[in-house]
Chains A and B, each alone.
Chain A
Amino acid sequence: QQQVKQSPQSLIVQKGGISIINCAYENTAFDYFPWYQQFPGKGPALLIAIRPDVSEKKEGRFTISFNKSAKQFSLHIMDSQPGDSATYFCAASINSGYALNFGKGTSLLVTP
């Protein structure tokens, strides 16, 4: 069964806007929550990751918000750019280098 649920399936945002993608998980043993960005024909590339001991992590225009009690985490892309158009996957694992459980992905389109 899907251990990580991701929404929305697709998202269209205007250039300069904020893109928000949400994920929820059930397994409380998960202790590592990365986001990957994937362009067509490429493998997933690590964007940003968080552990449950912090509620927010920011790297440039990308921010992860983490709500441990709700078992939810989200990716915010500020000042979205057309080059951000890609598929984004959230994931969760027990121990960062072990089996990653991925969401189904969100296809983001940033229009000029």
Chain B
Amino acid sequence: ETGVTQSPTHLIKTRGQQVTLRCSSQSGHNTVSWYQQALGQGPQFIFQYYREEENGRGNFPPRFSGLQFPNYSSELNVNALELDDSALYLCASGSARLTGQKETQYFGPGTRLLVL
């Protein structure tokens, strides 16, 4: 086990609704990244947070947003849900040194979101 936890494990929403997914990072980690994994595909990078600020974003629209809290827990918010948002959402935590060098990322078990 990686020590990264996510909640809820499963979620069903309808198109147009909003959803918030949560992640608790491994102790000592100060970066958190979110990935979307569609069925049968590899994870796709959504964004990363470091020191409570967004530190890079993949090819995802602004309706995907996030927060990182001082205790290094994190939220992923998705507004105006679309059918194609149905996927496994993974968070990964890691640590960044003051030099900027970042360490390996460790994934949580994911939240499976189904949009009807």
Q: How far is the CA of A4 from the CA of B2 in the complex (A)?
A: 25
Cβ-based interface call for B53 (8 A): no
Tell me the nearest residue of chain B to A43, going by C-beta: B107
Counting residue pairs across A and B whose Cβ atoms lie within 8 Å, the total is 67
Task: Identify which of residues 88-110 in chain A touch chain B, using a CB-to-CB cut-off of 8 Å.
Answer: 89, 91, 95-105
- Residues in B whose Cβ lies below 8 Å from that of A103: 42
Task: Identify which of residues 33-53 in chain B touch chain A, using a CB-to-CB cut-off of 8 Å.
Answer: 33, 35, 40-45, 48
**Contact between B104 and A43, CB atoms less than 8 A apart:** no
Given A97-B31, A99-B48, the answer on whether A44 and B56 have CB atoms closer than 8 Å is no
**Contact between B43 and A44, CB atoms less than 8 A apart:** yes
Given A41-B109, A43-B109, the answer on whether A97 and B102 have CB atoms closer than 8 Å is yes
Chain B interface size, as a band, is: 20 to 34
Cβ-based interface call for A46 (8 A): yes
- Interface 0/1 of B81-105, CB less than 8 Å to A: 0000000001010111000111111
Chain A interface size, as a band, is: 20 to 34
**Contact between A45 and B104, CB atoms less than 8 A apart:** no
**Contact between B42 and A46, CB atoms less than 8 A apart:** no
Q: How far is the CA of A34 from the CA of B102 in the complex (A)?
A: 14
Which 3 pairs from chain A and chain B are nearest by CB?
A97-B102, A102-B42, A43-B107
Identify the B interface with A (CB < 8 A): 2, 4, 31, 33, 35, 40-45, 48, 56, 58, 90, 92, 94-96, 100-110
